[in-house]
């Protein structure tokens, strides 16, 4: 389990395939702010709610200078099905090796119904134009999280 990121840290760069298999790098977004959110699994209720919330607010976020990247351990094919089924507009990236999840502290011990296991920790990292962590939010809730981000960022 890796360390959680803190404001001021350099956000680890990454290159991951999107739902269409195209490579997307964090460094390609330099000069813009990026909301990188990590979620456990496509096509599940909480993750669907969160992805739909980001999609519904994408124009508002983009207008304020933010790009949104959603990362899960799902394969690109599953992300494509997720995008189509839910009409998602956010960029979904596949991290099946969990290397990026680990680098961002978004994979580790979780507890559910009294059992401890390893899994994706629902997290949101806001990266500034220079590639530094502006905010690092861990163990966030799927519902209401996007509205809270918008409020906290003053958008």
Positions marked active-site: 47
Place of tokens 């404001």: 7
Looking at the DSSP assignment, which residues form a beta bridge with residue 37? 70, 124
Helix (H, G, I), strand (E, B) or coil at 87: coil
Cα 122 to Cα 110: distance, rounded to the nearest angstrom: 10
CB 125 within 8 A of CB 31: no
CA–CA gap between residue 36 and residue 142 (Å, rounded): 14
DSSP structure class, residue 137: E
Distance between CA atoms of 41 and 2, rounded to whole angstroms? Answer: 20
């Amino acid at each position: 389990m890796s360390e959680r990121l803190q404001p001021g840290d350099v956000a680890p760069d990454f290159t991951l395939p999107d739902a269409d298999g195209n490579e997307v790098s964090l460094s390609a977004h330099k000069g813009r702010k990026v909301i990188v959110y990590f979620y456990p699994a496509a096509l599940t209720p909480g993750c669907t709610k969160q992805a739909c919330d980001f999609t519904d607010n994408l124009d508002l976020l983009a207008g304020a200078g933010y790009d949104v990247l959603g990362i899960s351990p799902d394969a690109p094919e599953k992300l494509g099905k997720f995008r189509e089924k839910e009409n998602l507009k956010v960029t979904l990236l596949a991290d099946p090796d969990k290397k990026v999840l680990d680098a961002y502290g978004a994979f580790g011990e979780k507890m559910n119904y009294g059992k401890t296991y390893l899994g994706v920790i629902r997290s949101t990292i806001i990266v500034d134009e220079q590639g530094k962590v502006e905010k690092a939010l861990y163990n966030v809730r799927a519902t209401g999280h996007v509205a809270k981000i918008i409020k906290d960022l003053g958008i």
